[in-house]
Amino acid sequence: MNIGLVAHDAKKKLMENFTIAYRHILAKHDLYATATTGRLIEEATNLTIYKYLAGHLGGVQQIGAQISHNQVDMVIFLRDPLGQKPHEPDSSTLERLCDIHNIPIATNLATAELLVKALDRGDLSWREVIR
């Protein structure tokens, strides 16, 4: 499965910790991330991450294009709903694309954990049929 990973600045440490905790599951899949988030995850977990541009420089649009071409099976976008900075990407674009293309998306830790555990159980294998 192809998994997109994005995190606002205030949530990057949380994304690192999340990927460390679920490394054993994530290691079985292809991971795509915006530049800084991808680098931090790679350094923390030693997982291979396909890195796009920084989110504010077009990385979120690159992941969006991948979603539009049915090349992403799940997105984890840990967003900061209270303190988003002007240079940070808006999650609504990815949320909209995921809704259009029926892609599961998590925007907080609780939902991310549910999706990753479902992924491990095989609950998202229906995505392989769609592709």
Q: Domain spans of the chain? A: 2-86+95-130
Average pLDDT over residues 101-109: 96
| Lowest-pLDDT range of 7-16, 64-73, 83-92, 102-111 | 83-92
pLDDT digits (tens, 9 = 90+) for 26-43: 999 999 999 999 999 999
The DSSP secondary structure of the chain, one letter per residue, reads: -EEEEEE-GGGHHHHHHHHHHTHHHHTTSEEEE-HHHHHHHHHHH---EEE-S-GGGTHHHHHHHHHHTT--SEEEEE--TTT--TTSPPHHHHHHHHHHHT--EE-SHHHHHHHHHHHHHTTTTHHHHH-
What would be the CATH architecture of the domain defined by 2-86+95-130? Answer: 3-Layer(aba) Sandwich (3.40)
- Tell me the pTM: 0.92
